[in-house]
Amino acid sequence: MENTKLTVNQLANYFDNTNLHADATKEDMRQLCEDSAKYGFKMVAINPVQSSWCRELLGKDSPVDVGAAIGFPLGQNSIETKAFETTDSINNGANEIDYVINITELKAKNYAYIEREMQTIVDICRKNNVMSKVIFENCYLTDDEKTKMCEIALKVRPDFIKTSTGFGTGGATVADVKLMKSVVGDNVKVKAAGGISDLDTCLAMIAAGAERIGTSHAVALTEAYKKQLEQK
């Protein structure tokens, strides 16, 4: 779909509205959920401990998903720890899971570990009818490593592969979205996240193949797009 053909509501539904700050208050979570329900964002992206609170705020039948960030933001937890965190978040109301890979094991070319980790978390999500997203944290990876992660994802088939946490040394780039999309095609979706704060960048990510946008600027981006359409 061409960006110019997106309605405001369609753009809003790309957004995983994000607040992963350590000092986020309950009122911040309330605002996040209220904004997400008002604008029709796809998901609230939060730390696992906020899962039950956000589910309560949104309501069990809300079209806005609750997305818990697992092994966040470094990914330096055992598979067993990430598996428990995933299950615990789901039990507390999360119906999407974004987990960070173990970059140390990827750098060591321990691809069997990476695949086992991905399979473990994706299996838990499938069992619970929950969406799974794999965060690569591309700022630390070579293009060969990004490609290898995509190839593993093609075997395991999570719902999404994701560029970044937003807490690394760099965020999403159009080049990375294109690279990831070129490997997985339509078999796995791509989520762009990290540093997406202006409308042109957001639309460029979508044009490159991103089917989700993770951002803490979802309200501002939606309002900017609405204004742009009104001026045409």
Query: Which positions are annotated as active-site residues?
Result: 98, 162, 191
Cβ neighbors of 224 (< 8 A, separation 6 or more) are 198, 199
Q: Whole-angstrom Cα distance, residue 228 to residue 134?
A: 33
Phi, psi of 213 (to 5 degrees): -125, 120
* 3-class state of residue 212 by DSSP: strand
Strand partners of residue 66: 44
In this structure, what token pair is assigned to residue 4?
A: 């110019």
CA 92 to chain centre: 19
Q: Whole-angstrom Cα distance, residue 179 to residue 229?
A: 30
Cα angle for residues 36, 129, 176 (degrees, 5° grid): 65
C-alpha torsion 125→136→218→36, nearest 10: 10
Beta strands, E only, 62-184 = 65-70, 96-100, 131-135, 160-162
